[in-house]
Amino acid sequence: MNSLSIEALYRSESRRVLATLIRLLGDFDLAEEALHEAFSVALERWPQDGLPDNPRAWLISTGRFKAIDRLRRQARFTPLSQAQADALEAAEWSVEDVEDDRLRLIFTCCHPALAPDAQAALTLREICDLTTEEIARAFLSTPTTIAQRIVRAKAKIREANIPYQVPSLAELPERLDSVLRVVYLVFNEGYSASIGANLTRDELSGEAIRLGRLLLALLPEPEVMGLLALMLLHESRRAARTSASGELVLLDEQDRTLWDASLITEGCALVQRALSSRGFGPYCLQAAIAAVHAEAPHAAQTDWPQIVGLYDVLLGLLPSPVIALNRAVAVAMRDGPLAGLQQVDGILARGALQDYHLAHATRGEFCRQLGRLKEARSAYEKALSLTQQAPEKAFLEQRLAQLVSASMP
């Protein structure tokens, strides 16, 4: 067992271990310290002793004992630490209890006592292990602001004694909206990473789908079905979204034989179940749009009028400039690039999405198709200045190079 193997295990298991340590220790910061101490011990022992039969249980147990030791050392200065350490040592726990700890943790992070922006920041930090810098980029904020939100959220959980548990069935519906929103944020960061050399982060999208399945088992409501369907249908395209060399491949150019048919089948079935309930909302409608794409054998056979119609309904339920931008793309596919450009210019004129790279990239694409090369170049350059993701940067640089070539006599 070498350090690289332990690093891989950290990536796959650390959030599970942390969730359980938070439950056992009742303190975010103490649990995070215990997690890192447990992995430090693993780096020392496992190369010599070999991998334990149950690494996750070993890490949880080691972290728990390290936390107890830390509290006992602090007892000289804080008498309450001794009582806390004694209580932790006396408490019973079992490895069988740990599987749903991440679900408990996400409901804690999304408690209504916390502000929505704090819910999202705390979830992305604690459940997904994103750095404050990565979260800041995802929210177009600063690392200092994000760090302050996380610190305040942890303090609120501690001071208000917010329980570490899944709500009762009676409380669950009113608590669900914030959880679904955060799960989708996690998925989006995995499906299209906000920064880095890779377009996707498989571990995040996989974790979001796992959480979605847990939520569906707990509460089979239409919007839970819709969110899970939406994630599955997007995830089905993963293998086709980049070339063998890691370059971005647009939806209409993807090799659809690479799409995962089993995920499409599961996602479309969930869409049908959700829509038949007539109690659906925005996630179901977005999943229905994704299903129309998934059911088209070729890009040219996509039912764009139906997609525009679904976006019209979606905008009525959830007015959003990003949804309006996506609708503009659908309008362009139905009515031509000029119609799409008019829609995008209207969004930008209203002051929305000025700092959103995809808005400017979309405008650049419509201008390119219309032969308005100077405008296209300006829009692509603006998009390039706003993106932090290597594959998207490379794609935009390629588009700009094509424009230069097209402009040469």
* pLDDT score, position 242: 87
Give the Cβ contact number of residue 279 at 10 Å: 11
Q: Mean per-residue pLDDT for 339-352?
A: 96
* pLDDT score, position 249: 92
Helix axes 116-126, 101-109, angle to 10 degrees: 150
* pLDDT score, position 301: 96
The token duo for 23 is 């439950």
HSE-CB at 396 with a 13 A cutoff on CA atoms is 26
Cβ contact 104:165 at 8 Å: yes
Among residues 288, 346, 339, which one has the least CA distance to residue 313?
288
For residue range 5-64, list pLDDT tens digits in order.
888 888 888 888 999 999 888 889 999 999 999 999 999 999 988 889 899 999 999 999
* pLDDT score, position 407: 67
What class has domain 314-409?
mainly alpha
For residue range 294-324, list pLDDT tens digits in order.
999 999 999 999 999 999 999 999 999 999 9
Bridge partners (DSSP) of residue 388 are 195
Domains of the chain by residue range: 3-97, 314-409
Confidence of residue 408 (pLDDT cuts 50, 70, 90): low
How far, in Å, CA of 198 to CA of 190, rounded? 10
For residue range 177-235, list pLDDT tens digits in order.
889 988 898 888 888 766 666 666 777 788 889 889 988 987 889 999 999 999 999 99
Is the CATH number of domain 3-97 3.40.1520? no
SS3 state of residue 160: coil
* pLDDT score, position 78: 67
* pLDDT score, position 194: 66
Name the one residue in this structure whose structure tokens are 């999304």: 110
* pLDDT score, position 275: 93
For residue range 259-286, list pLDDT tens digits in order.
999 999 999 999 999 999 878 899 999 9
For residue range 146-187, list pLDDT tens digits in order.
999 999 999 999 899 888 888 887 887 778 888 998 889 888
Bridge partners (DSSP) of residue 389 are 196
Cβ contact 121:153 at 8 Å: yes
What's the whole-model pTM score? Answer: 0.77
How far, in Å, CA of 55 to CA of 224, rounded? 32
Cβ contact 23:88 at 8 Å: no
Name, in order, each residue with C-beta under 8 angstroms of 274's C-beta and a sequence gap of 6 or more: 222, 223, 225, 226, 229, 280, 284, 287
Q: How many residues does the chain have?
A: 409
Cβ contact 318:282 at 8 Å: yes
Phi, psi of 331 (to 5 degrees): -60, -40
